[in-house]
Amino acid sequence: MDTFMIIVLVVVVIILLRSIRQVDEYERGVKFKFGKYSKIVGPGWRLVLPIIESMKKIDIRTKAVDVPEQDAITKDNVSIRINAVLYYSIFDASKVIISVENYKFAVGQLAQTTMRNAVGAVTLDELLVQRDKISEEICKIIDEATDPWGIKVENVELKDISLPEEMKRVLAIAAEAEREKAAVITKAEGEAMAAENLAKAAETMTSTPGALHLRTLSTLSDISADKANTIVIALPIEILEAIKGKDKK
């Protein structure tokens, strides 16, 4: 009798030890009783009765999914290759177990499909210029689709957008033309400002007696420092008129 009791106690202890399950801080346990959903349990040691109960643990930390590079066609029929990274977390562990068979695979496939559709709805210029806006739209669409699964999509970032070689050359030519256009405009604006300033200076000299003569003397003083120069003096009208008046006297 004593031996039998010892065996029974050992068996009970082994069953109890195997029934204790640890749920870590970053996990949630989904318990089932007789195959039916029972409840969600938090971190700590939890007792799961053999045969009667079962429990699956779900990691609720934020996860990063690398959406593989894939082919897509923009609204203006440009073929590109694009990839992205998606960040999500689980807010309802029971839905992740009950509502979808393999939530990681499902999220990845949904991200690929949504990304292709989003790229097809915009032109290449819009995709390159409004990348952040398009990422937000993709994030919103995936978040709404995964909400019944108990998943919260936190962010989607478009990583690399690869263009065909011929399209790269076209964009390079367009960028060069844009730079030349900007340089011509800047040069024209500078010439216009210089002409305006010269006009103002001429007007000031014309309205001020002797100003042109002083400017001529200043110029002669500047160029006389270099003796290699040949100086041709253009006398102002004021000087000629002064000489002419002196001869008449």
For the stretch 63-75, pLDDT in tens is 998 988 888 888 8
Pick from 133, 134, 132: nearest CA to 72: 134
Give residue 226's identity as a one-letter amino acid code. D
Q: How confident is the model at residue 207 (pLDDT cuts 50, 70, 90)?
A: low
| Mean residue pLDDT across the chain | 80
Return the pLDDT at 221: 62
Q: pLDDT at residue 108 above 60?
A: yes
Return the pLDDT at 176: 64
Q: pLDDT at residue 28 above 70?
A: yes
**What SS3 class is residue 61?**
coil
- Residue 95: CB atoms within 10 A of its CB come to 19
pTM of the model: 0.63
Question: What residues are paired with 88 via a beta bridge?
Answer: 63, 153
What is each CA distance from 36 to 32, 86, 98, 122, in whole angstroms? 5, 32, 10, 46
**What SS3 class is residue 45?**
strand
131-187 pLDDT, tens digit per residue, is 889 999 999 999 999 999 999 999 999 888 887 766 656 656 666 666 677 777 877
Q: What is the mean pLDDT of residues 108-129?
A: 90
Q: What is the mean pLDDT of residues 90-105?
A: 92
Q: pLDDT at residue 244 above 60?
A: no
Of 12-21, 84-93, 236-245, the one with minimum mean pLDDT is: 236-245
148, two tokens: 């019944």
Return the pLDDT at 225: 62
What whole-number distance in Å separates Cα of residue 63 and Cα of residue 131? 22
- Residue 148: CB atoms within 10 A of its CB come to 11
Sequence-ordered strand ranges (E) for 53-189:
53-59, 63-73, 79-90, 151-162
Identify the top-confidence range among 2-11, 94-103, 122-131, 156-165. Answer: 94-103
What whole-number distance in Å separates Cα of residue 197 and Cα of residue 40? 80
Give residue 153's identity as a one-letter amino acid code. V
Return the pLDDT at 215: 62
Distance from the Cα of residue 245 to its chain's centroid: 78
Of 80-84, 101-105, 147-151, 225-229, the one with minimum mean pLDDT is: 225-229
